[in-house]
Chain A
């Protein structure tokens, strides 16, 4: 079984500043994938960034980067140069590469508010 823990229910950041959203995970699977999603008030989950457990380098996607520390089982999302449009719920998720490979397990999310 997989478990995702997001310990920050809410975060505030000043516009143009960087912010880190925490995510820790627990799994017994030797290989897995880690995801971050953004959920605006309209409801849809928007995929942001992905990290495979065997990827040597941390993933980056525009202003998003994933700080992956495998030994600590953490996969924090870093958003650089925050914009007002970044205000949303952010979810960390994972899937194993075996067994229930089609199932994403999500954390409880972090509500990010970007202040002008």
Chain B
């Protein structure tokens, strides 16, 4: 499979627990993006990596959220002390250039906080 891979596909967690999602981009892509999509809405930008450097962060990325890309390959998104409002689809995308027309999205991780 040469697409963007996200794991797990679904996650149900209790409020207050920590969760971590993983994104494996297309192998030669050095740019990686995280988006959040709540029900009935379009995706909202969370953060952007170029190689291992986190170059942009949205104000949506509160102190409870942290994203890493330690070796410039896969990335993780952690949410601490989850809240019901964190329930959403978390989408990852990757690209080789800055042209977003060449960005590919994964199928997302759907988080449900109960």
Name the B residues within 8 Å of A46 (CB-CB): 105
- Tell me the nearest residue of chain B to A105, going by C-beta: B45
Total of A-B residue pairs, C-beta within 8 Å: 61
Name the A residues within 8 Å of B103 (CB-CB): 47
Say how far A37's CB is from chain B's closest CB, in angstroms.
Answer: 8
**Contact (Cβ within 8 A) B44 A45:** no
Partner of B98, one of A4, A45, A101: A101
A102 vs B93: C-alpha distance when bound (angstroms): 12
The reply on B74 being an interface residue by CB < 8 A is: no
**Contact (Cβ within 8 A) A103 B45:** yes
Name the B residues within 8 Å of A4 (CB-CB): 42
Give me the interface of B with A, judged by CB distance under 8 Å.
Answer: 3-4, 31, 33, 35, 40-45, 48, 55-56, 58, 89, 91, 93, 98, 100-101, 103-108, 110
